[in-house]
Structure 1
């Protein structure tokens, strides 16, 4: 694993912990719905900019295939 991988994994871990804390404290379906609607809106914008226009790349270096590695980075950055 490269140093890029450690940054992606570290940020993912921190964000997941924060999401669990927020969901545990609120304990409402409304919080889940707001989160997932926000994620879906980001994916629509991301599809236009990233996938259809091919305007930038991510470099988490988790996978050996550069194409799939970039998509994994995009999913990680938007979902988490």
Structure 2
């Protein structure tokens, strides 16, 4: 939601000094897409620490799965 608002505002501000309508349109679109890409990149950087599971909560693979060495009776 924030990226949509910021992209719109940044696009409008970038085109204030451009007189040609066609150039203004394409500049606004470029700035909007660039703003969304930058904000998605920032979100990926900020999200990474929250996506990791602390080592104290991780279980080793051999305890998470049933033992394959158990004999069937």
Q: TM-score, normalised by structure 2?
A: 0.35
Q: TM-score, normalised by structure 1?
A: 0.33
Name the structure, 1 or 2, with higher relative contact order (CA <8 Å, separation 6+).
Answer: 1
